[in-house]
Structure formats: structure tokens, C-alpha cells
Amino acid sequence: MAALYATRATLSYTTGRDTIRESAARRFFADWYRWATHSQLPEMISVARTLKRHFANIITYIRKPITNAAAESLNSKIQMIKFRARGYRNEGRFPAAILFHCGGLDLLPAHPKS
């Protein structure tokens, strides 16, 4: 159990940093993978193999830290609008509701300066 905690702490320290160079990430992962696969902990070996399968994607993120989080967030908001409405009477109301809730409009009335 202590080995699992130590590995989690090491990974969170490494991945929580703002800037990681690709070469450093490759070296770290090679050393960590070697340790994890020789740890004789089945869960750790499984995690190590999973990370190795996705390592190309991890390196891509290190090179260009771009995610689809904004698109997923917008999709989640749209799904919530759809759920709350429980159906629309006509097709035009659903796009209007999306624009109303996700359009970023300022609906506060403008007060004239006197």
C-alpha cells in the first residue's frame, strides 16, 4: 500500500507542474514504467500498461496543451437545457433556448445616464 501511495505522489507531483519538457517526460516515464512493472503489484502493472498504451497522446498534450474541455462544457450545458425543457413544442424554441442560455448575452436593462 505504501508503494502505491508513493507512486501516486510521484505522478501527481510530475503531472501537476506547469511546464514539462518532452525529453524529461519520456525519461521519467521510462524509469517509472520499469519500476511499476517490476513492483509485483497487479494494480500498478495494469495502470502502467494503460499509460504506456496512451503515452503518444500524453506526449501530444505535453507538446500542445489543448483539450476539448470547452466543447464538452458547452455540450453539457446544451444537454441540461434539453433535459430541463422535457421537449419543445416546435423546432425553433430549442435553438433559441441554447442561444439564450449559452450566448453570453447581457440581459440587464441599460440605465440611461442622467
Per-position DSSP letters for 2-18, written without gaps between them:
HHHHHHHHHHHHHHTSS
Would you say 68 and 27 are in contact if contact means Cβ atoms under 8 Å apart? no
Residues 47 and 74 in one domain: no
Task: Confirm whether 108 is domain-assigned.
Answer: no
Residues 44 and 78 in one domain: no
Residues 58 and 7 in one domain: yes
- Structural domain boundaries, residue 47: 2-63
Per the structure, the count of domains in the chain is 2
43 vs 36: CA distance, rounded Å: 9
Task: Confirm whether 110 is domain-assigned.
Answer: no
Instruction: Answer whether residue 70 shows pLDDT above 80.
Output: yes
Residues 42 and 74 in one domain: no
Residues 73 and 58 in one domain: no
Computed over every residue of the chain, the mean pLDDT equals 82
Task: Note the pTM of the prediction, 2 decimals.
Answer: 0.55
Residues 41 and 24 in one domain: yes
56 vs 12: CA distance, rounded Å: 19
Task: Confirm whether 81 is domain-assigned.
Answer: yes
Residues 19 and 43 in one domain: yes
Q: Which three cell numbers stand for residue 52?
A: 504506456
Residues 78 and 55 in one domain: no
Q: What is the mean pLDDT of residues 69-76?
A: 92
Per-residue pLDDT of 13-62, as tens digits, reads: 555 555 678 888 899 899 999 999 998 889 999 999 999 999 999 899 88
